[in-house]
Amino acid sequence: MGDLFIAGTWTTGAADGRREIICPADGAHVGTVTEASDADTRAAIAAARAAFDTGSWPATPARDRGALLARVADLLERDAAEIARAESLDTGKRYVESEYDVADVVSVFRHYAAVAGSDLGRVVDTGRPGIAATVVKEPIGVCSLITPWNYPLLQASWKVAPCLAAGNAFVLKPSEITPHSTIHLVRLLEEAGLPAGVANLVLGTGAGCGGPLSADPRVDLVSFTGSLAVGRHLMAAAAPTVKRVALELGGKNPNIVFADADLAIAVDHALTAVFLHSGQVCSAGARLIVEESVAADFVDEIVRRASQIRLGGPFDESAQSGPLTSAGHLAKVEAYVAAGLAEGARLRCGGARPSGSAYEKGFYYLPTVLDQCHSGMSVVQDESFGPVLTVETFSGATPAQAEDAAVALANDTIYGLAGAVWTQTAGRGERVAARLRLGTVWVNDYHPYVPQAEWGGYKQSGIGRELGHLGLEEYQETKHVWHNLAPAPSGWFS
């Protein structure tokens, strides 16, 4: 039995490709999984197309679709420890973080279980007698769901749960280096009773098996979370068939600290904002923008505490952060820091791999702070996706001018995913939040989200929204039905 799931069957695929999965923390063998070919992906799309066009799932009452999602949530809770372990081994993240992630996945499935039938359309008052007009929501069809390596199961849940709640069929492709928790999810969908062909799973690289997911005319929607470069490629591939595209791409997220903030709390959250999961978070607060009058002491404290962060593997209970995901990604982060130093940034801490035998076989990089940065630097504009914080400062002769300066810096980027504002001045947080071109703004907080609230970005951080009500609408078509209850000749050409 293989690891591809096509038309309700676990299979090794046409080419019987294989990939070894290793743990980024120590290089240990985690498992060997099947890799799909282009032909396997096309077969998965055909299975999803048949399940949608002739199967029962799209016509299944919304309350029954919700009930299945609730069963999946129960099964996820049952297997939570096993899933968290699998995700930690694949990603290298701390086990406690994976436990939180699985709990969030359960919440996502429970949310969409509850709202599956919440939007059944509306009646339209046409102002004309004898006319019954309605606007209804229908499933969009066959969906390609492509997920990243940093939060494999969580990002899959953001797509799979609303996709199924709306009545669609899908082909899911996780990152080739972190597949195990996604495989487990698909097994739970099967156990919960999802009809054959509705859920299909292919594993492998974008180049190896991913092409048809965006280009095949039988696909109606592509939902992708990942890099800006790949998002652009998928948009271009989807354009000839004018299919819907939903993209959650990169971020270069500002964390703005005004002088009047509670600075001790702001320091604490600034560390979490950028160094959680070694900075491998799309919403990481990698740009610290701090008011000049408090910048020196604030950054000194950031540096002091960042230098004390303990690195380690998933099951090292003393560790506070883990490795980067791969040797290639580690090299990318190293090159990013080197470029920043060449541009004139000042290295305050980190900037190297940790020493010691405990780190030799893993892909570790020390928490790094680059001071004296400005928005003209590529190190400020480009996404490192690693444990690297850049520091910029702002000032103003008046409070209003300080706000203007902070907002101008924060918005000076092609991205617009998320960010935060720290202040204790009444009204300032809301004023600044309103001016930031970001999909999510936290005021005196960083990182929390709930499934009930939409997530997504402005500008080149993406198109569309996940979670919340709009996260369900991404997977729905809107249809207007006009019913003339008393048809009569129009007489137009009589």
Closest C-alpha to 382, from 394, 373, 372, 395? 373
Compute the Cα dihedral for 463, 466, 468, 469 and give only its sign: positive
Closest C-alpha to 47, from 177, 201, 198, 176? 198
Amino acid of residue 481? V
Among 176, 248, 291, 454, the active-site one is: 248
Catalytic annotation present for 143: no
* DSSP code of residue 349: E
Amino acid of residue 351? G
Cβ neighbours of 313 (radius 10 Å): 24
Cβ neighbours of 138 (radius 10 Å): 14
Residue with tokens 């594993």: 203
Compute the distance between CA of residue 109 and CA of residue 66 in angstroms, rounded to an integer. Answer: 9
Compute the distance between CA of residue 199 and CA of residue 195 in angstroms, rounded to an integer. Answer: 8
Instruction: Please provide the DSSP assignment of 56-101 as one string.
Output: SGGGS-HHHHHHHHHHHHHHHHHTHHHHHHHHHHHH---HHHHHHH
Catalytic annotation present for 248: yes
User: What's CA 289's distance to the chain center, in Å?
Assistant: 24
Burial 215-237 (b: 16+ CB within 10 A, else e): bbebbbbbbbbbebebbeebeeb
Closest C-alpha to 94, from 356, 250, 280? 280
Closest C-alpha to 142, from 46, 62, 67, 225? 46
Compute the distance between CA of residue 253 and CA of residue 257 in angstroms, rounded to an integer. Answer: 13
Compute the distance between CA of residue 25 and CA of residue 359 in angstroms, rounded to an integer. Answer: 8
Among 23, 163, 209, 282, the active-site one is: 282
CB distance 278 to 91 below 8 Å: no
Compute the distance between CA of residue 463 and CA of residue 34 in angstroms, rounded to an integer. Answer: 32
Any idea which residues carry the catalytic annotation? 248, 282
